[in-house]
Chain A
């Protein structure tokens, strides 16, 4: 799975978990905490859904280090690639 595919799935899950964001563009440098309506609980839900979707686990201690949407994609890309 390439990075673009991972990013698209990440966006789908974000829109699914946070319906208020429907129609709001998400870019690589979108800062999760300030540029979106995602609070820490919402972020937890998104990461859990993505973990289930990609069948990988991101250690919880890494979650707070994911600042931008690009960081989220990077984290999953790294784990997914490590699997193969």
Chain B
């Protein structure tokens, strides 16, 4: 990292929550830009103090209108008003649930009922009108976090913690509502910024939806934590224009978005850092970005951990500590040599001898501890960033978050010789797609099975998209481009069409393939997807 840039790094101070962040905005460099947004066709800047004032003003309005504990569903559109509302509602002690305004009405209705939402905020009046019926049906008089608190003995809400619920990035109503807090989200932003600090002269472009924790933390809070300006992207319609409009120096993206930006040559010349997360990223994309002079970092985290657990740090971003080392933090202590690994440079200290850069070699973020189970499953401990639980799903919570505070991620990993973590696959029946979303296969496949009764099939991932492989002796033996396969494909596509229409485009089946062989299965009957994936053509 060059000396000039290092000078502009702000010494990181851990923010305990949104109020602490706003206090810093009001009193430390209050005139510096906090947020860039579009106003009348031009980029407008909102200073840190003006942002804090706007939030507090809106907070007072919300507090006056709603009692504490009221549950507000925010249909996230990524606008300035949306961001101000989220901060304000949290500080007004409302329970906030972040929703995808582009999700289907059925999914939104299910999520509203699932999380006991009392009222909605959003910019689409027609949608809010349509969803009104769900609000009263799910209404109950008392809405605090008692239910969520009871999910796990360690879950104790303090007066300073405010719940924000994120849905896991899944497909259907089976998505779980994860209870996080402003404190856990700020802790995640702080931990990430210790590893990958932005400077006060950086502009971080937020293009990802705020209802995904990766977008919320790495697209927004990361920049705010570092004192950088955060540019609020204008949504999917402006993907081709936002980089030239806001001229960011840093960007968080999912693999599919990065592929799109590269394919259409949309990276602006000021851009120097891209943080990729929320899905497996093909090496070709990282190479292509690096060829344009952009540093690429890869992050690993879950909604349940408030985003980042581990991150790869490009050589030019290796710095001496910019966070405040906490002697009580196991991540800052030397590794005692046991199986638990907190990373040799967990507080941002330079790694000696680290010459070459492997973007998939991840360093563990401070305040997180990662171990591997005997079968390679990644286990995460980190009280500051960990979820409180799945909302009203104590059994599901207990299945992954054990009483000792260890989260069983369902992902498989390995350590390399430098003690860095590599993600090698999934233990759970989940596909992680290139648009950053996940398919929960049992439910996805059961919905397909309902319209293809009696058929043996499996859903696999190919090039970051789901494909459907069916056992069909005729079509399978005749070949994919045969008339028999075309006929069978037309039938299958017609049958699954109503199911697909309910899913976001990236989660819809992208190809229907056939095999004349029985699907390989484990002793317990599960399809050996990894074996099938290897056999897929192309």
Interface residue ranges, A against B (CB under 8 Å)? 31, 33-34, 39-45, 48, 51, 59-61, 63-65, 67
Closest to A59 in B: B124
Q: Would you give the 0/1 interface string for B502-535, flagging 1 where the beta carbon is closer than 8 Å to chain A?
A: 0111101111100000000000000000000000
Q: How far is the CA of A39 from the CA of B124 in the complex (A)?
A: 26
Q: How far is the CA of A48 from the CA of B264 in the complex (A)?
A: 14
Instruction: Contact check, B260 vs A61: say whether CB atoms are below 8 A apart.
Output: no
Q: How far is the CA of A59 from the CA of B125 in the complex (A)?
A: 12
Task: Give the chain B neighbours of A40 by CB distance below 8 A.
Answer: 256, 435, 504-506
B82 within 8 A of A: no
Nearest Cβ distance between residue B258 and chain A, in whole angstroms? 10
Task: Give the chain B neighbours of A48 by CB distance below 8 A.
Answer: 236-237, 239-240
Task: Give the chain A neighbours of B104 by CB distance below 8 A.
Answer: 61, 64
Which of B274-282, B300-308, B493-501 contacts its partner? Answer: B493-501
Q: How far is the CA of A63 from the CA of B510 in the complex (A)?
A: 16
> Assuming A40-B504, A44-B236, A63-B102, what are 5 further A-B pairs, CB within 8 angstroms?
A33-B505, A34-B511, A34-B512, A63-B505, A64-B503
B257 within 8 A of A: yes
Closest to A49 in B: B240
Nearest Cβ distance between residue A25 and chain B, in whole angstroms? 14
Contact status of A64 and B508, CB under 8 A, knowing A31-B493, A41-B256, A41-B260? yes
Closest to B464 in A: A39
What interface size band does chain B fall in?
Answer: 20 to 34
Instruction: Contact check, B260 vs A34: say whether CB atoms are below 8 A apart.
Output: no
Task: Give the chain A neighbours of B127 by CB distance below 8 A.
Answer: 61
Interface residue ranges, B against A (CB under 8 Å)? 101-105, 124, 127, 235-237, 239-240, 256-257, 259-260, 264, 435, 465, 489, 493, 497, 500-501, 503-506, 508-512
Q: How far is the CA of A41 from the CA of B434 in the complex (A)?
A: 11
Task: Give the chain B neighbours of A45 by CB distance below 8 A.
Answer: 239-240, 260, 264
Interface of A, secondary structure class, is helix
Nearest Cβ distance between residue A32 and chain B, in whole angstroms? 8
Task: Give the chain A neighbours of B509 by CB distance below 8 A.
Answer: 33-34
Task: Give the chain A neighbours of B236 by CB distance below 8 A.
Answer: 44, 48, 60
Task: Give the chain B neighbours of A63 by CB distance below 8 A.
Answer: 102, 505
Nearest Cβ distance between residue A35 and chain B, in whole angstroms? 8
Nearest Cβ distance between residue B147 and chain A, in whole angstroms? 30
| B102 in complex: contacting residue of A41, A51, A60, CB < 8 Å | A60
| A67 in complex: contacting residue of B103, B235, B501, CB < 8 Å | B501
Contact status of A67 and B504, CB under 8 A, knowing A33-B509, A45-B240, A45-B264? no
Closest to B506 in A: A40
